Amino acid sequence: MKLISQGNLILKTNLTVNWTMQNPPTSAKAWHSWASFNPNLTGHNESIFFDSATREALDLALSQKLDRFTGWEALGAPERGPLAKAASVFKRGVPFKSCDTESEAVPLSGSYPIEIAPAHIHPVEALKEAFLTKNLFVVIDRNIPEHWNLSPFKADFHLEANEKNKNVDTVEHICKAAKKARSPDHWLIIGGGITADTAAFAANIMKKSFTLVPTTLLAMADACVGGKTGVNAHPFGKNLIGSFAFPEKVLVIPQFLKSLSTRVLRSGGAECLKHAFLAGKPEKAAKIADALKEVNLLSLSEELEFIIELKAKVVAEDPTEKGKRATLNLGHTLAHALEAISHKHNPPDQHIHHGEAVAVGLAFCFLISKKVVPNSVSSMDTMIGCLINSGLMPTKSRLQEHLGLSLDDEQTWPQVSHYLLNDKKKSDHHQDACNWILLEEWGKIFSDKPDGFLVRLPLSKIREVWDQFVREYPL
């Protein structure tokens, strides 16, 4: 472990994330012709990234459900500039060609340290050095100054973090504020996953470097590691417009966890437990589960390094999610379906949290493994036990409230299966089956094909597991 001194602060920098990628991040398996793209240029403003023509191209691509492996061919299109911009951010970048030959993908690489401040250090202390940077633009989650007196420091943009605001308009507002502040070269981004995803995307569009300071457990364990940035595209879905952009540094200040509500703290807990399951560490999982149950922040802070390291390792191997990174979606297939149902039936304040949906989704995956993976029962039972102990899974009645549905109702499964089949991470188009990431034991991904991560299962099998899940839902 490397320790570095910042003033009289000792920070751990044992984590360095190396990354390599190519731009664009995917190669085209097919091409979509934009020859007839003729945008309405009334009110068009070239000086902003998301001008009206670029937005029109994005809306068209989203409504036509183009995927990230379909390149955009602009041959013959009268307006190619907006198409090139839209292609560079559609699903974090798709191949683009505007003449007969496709331009070569550009290889990129780099690395960044993840520094973790000691658990007792106040954010003002920990942030001192970051604020010494000259020519700095600071974006902060609006809730942070409400909880923490950061008065020695000044922020340029206060972001109201909610999924509705996580959109291209907010990206434009941030960029406008940065231009007004004379476009500083380096951005400091302080906040949860929403602030990080939105502001880092804005920084990338403006070609600025940035430091991330995550302030929620989810942002520390997940959102700030791995270079995915981006915003939602209502009504099409979450995180559909963005880019891969890597920070110069991530600075984790565990004290920020103190001001989180228990529900928001626990929202990040499911990803932490998921990391322990994937790493095959039962004793770590038990410690994290206890810390979450008891809201023991000191104990959780002690585990942060382990928790962050697993994601850092996986994304270093597969930065642009061509293979192994997909294993981090463990538990997310059902989770996305539950979130979609909750969003359909309830107003935002009653939505299920992502972490709650992931906790339920993980338990569901383990139940599938018990049914389809030989000799997996005892490992799966200990992992399910861990999830139950952690207090992350909502009670059955709370889950039903979040979903706006009764689990025992006959009409519930058709809705669940509808969303399972629509999950954007499914990679086949057969309507009677969907793909799952399953474990066969602690730390071991199950696959029925060599080098594969996904197991395709018929919906009838999933239905059987669902019925058992509903009967046995633990609380």
Ligand X SMILES: NC(=O)c1ccc[n+]([C@@H]2O[C@H](COP(=O)([O-])OP(=O)(O)OC[C@H]3O[C@@H](n4cnc5c(N)ncnc54)[C@H](O)[C@@H]3O)[C@@H](O)[C@H]2O)c1
User: Which lies closer to ligand X via its Cβ, residue 239 or residue 412?
Assistant: 239
User: Which lies closer to ligand X via its Cβ, residue 56 or residue 271?
Assistant: 271
Minimum separation from the CB atom of position 351 to ligand X (A): 12
Among 222, 303, 321, 356, which residue interacts with ligand X (rule: CB under 6 A)?
Answer: 222
Apex 167 CA angle, 127 and 250, nearest 5? 25
Q: Which stretch binds ligand X (CB under 6 A): 211-219, 422-430, 434-442, 443-451?
A: 211-219
Minimum separation from the CB atom of position 221 to ligand X (A): 9
What does the per-residue mask of binding to ligand X show for 232-271, with x meaning CB under 6 A? Answer: ------xx----------------x--xx---x--x----
Amino acid at 352: I
User: Which lies closer to ligand X via its Cβ, residue 194 or residue 457?
Assistant: 194
Q: What is the Cβ-side half-sphere exposure of residue 45, based on CA atoms within 13 angstroms?
A: 7
Spell out the SS3 assignment of the chain.
Answer: CCEEEECCEEEEEEEEEEEEEEECCCCCCEEEECCCCCCCCCCCCCCCCCCHHHHHHHHHHHHCCCCCCEEEECCCCCCCHHHHHHHHHECCCCCEECCCCCCCCEEEEEEEEEEECCCCCCHHHHHHHHHHCCCEEEEEECHHHHHCCCCCCCCCEEECCCCCCCCHHHHHHHHHHHHHCCCCCEEEEEECHHHHHHHHHHHHHCCCEEEEEECCHHHHHHHCCCCEEEEEECCCEEEEEEEECCCCEEEECHHHHHHCCHHHHHHCHHHHHHHHHHHCCHHHHHHHHHHHHHCCHHHHHHHHHHHHHHHHHHHHHCCCCCCHHHHHHCCHHHHHHHHHHHHHHCCHHHCCCHHHHHHHHHHHHHHHHHHHCCCCHHHHHHHHHHHHHHCCCCCHHHHHHHHCCCCCCCCHHHHHHHHHHHCCCCCCCCCCEEEECEEEECCEEECCCCCCCCEEEEHHHHHHHHHHHHHHCCC
Instruction: Please state the length of the chain.
Output: 475
**Residue 152 backbone dihedrals phi, psi, to 5 degrees:** -65, -20
Minimum separation from the CB atom of position 57 to ligand X (A): 23
Q: State yes or no: residue 215 binds ligand X (CB under 6 A).
A: yes
Q: Look at the block and give the residue holding tokens 């993976």.
A: 373
Q: State yes or no: residue 198 binds ligand X (CB under 6 A).
A: no
Among 51, 197, 339, 423, which residue interacts with ligand X (rule: CB under 6 A)?
Answer: 197
Q: Restricting to residues 131-190, which ones interact with ligand X according to CB under 6 A?
A: 141, 143-144, 147, 161, 163, 166
Among 113, 192, 247, 331, which residue interacts with ligand X (rule: CB under 6 A)?
Answer: 192
* Structure tokens, 305: 């390094």
Minimum separation from the CB atom of position 8 to ligand X (A): 24
Q: State yes or no: residue 193 binds ligand X (CB under 6 A).
A: yes
How many residues of this chain interact with ligand X, rule: CB under 6 A? 28
Minimum separation from the CB atom of position 260 to ligand X (A): 5
Q: Which residue is nearest to ligand X (CB)?
A: 193
Minimum separation from the CB atom of position 455 to ligand X (A): 23
Minimum separation from the CB atom of position 300 to ligand X (A): 13
Minimum separation from the CB atom of position 362 to ligand X (A): 15
Among 116, 194, 273, 330, which residue interacts with ligand X (rule: CB under 6 A)?
Answer: 194
Q: State yes or no: residue 360 binds ligand X (CB under 6 A).
A: no
Rounded Cα distance between 99 and 85, Å, is: 16
What does the per-residue mask of binding to ligand X show for 266-305, with x meaning CB under 6 A? Answer: -x--------------------------------------
Minimum separation from the CB atom of position 156 to ligand X (A): 17
Residue 142 contacts residue 26 (beta carbons within 8 Å): no
Q: State yes or no: residue 191 binds ligand X (CB under 6 A).
A: yes
Q: Restricting to residues 65-104, which ones interact with ligand X according to CB under 6 A?
A: none
Minimum separation from the CB atom of position 338 to ligand X (A): 15
Minimum separation from the CB atom of position 171 to ligand X (A): 14
Minimum separation from the CB atom of position 133 to ligand X (A): 22
Minimum separation from the CB atom of position 214 to ligand X (A): 7
Among 12, 55, 228, 402, which residue interacts with ligand X (rule: CB under 6 A)?
Answer: 228
> What does each C-alpha distance from 462 to 180, 336, 355 come to in angstroms?
54, 15, 22
Rounded Cα distance between 20 and 310, Å, is: 18
Chain-centroid distance of CA 250 in Å reads 16
User: Which lies closer to ligand X via its Cβ, residue 115 or residue 271?
Assistant: 271
User: Which lies closer to ligand X via its Cβ, residue 39 or residue 226?
Assistant: 226
Q: Look at the block and give the residue holding tokens 């979509």.
A: 32
Q: Restricting to residues 383-402, which ones interact with ligand X according to CB under 6 A?
A: none
Using CB under 6 A, list all residues that contact ligand X: 141, 143-144, 147, 161, 163, 166, 191-195, 197, 215-216, 218-219, 222-223, 226, 228, 238-239, 256, 259-260, 264, 267
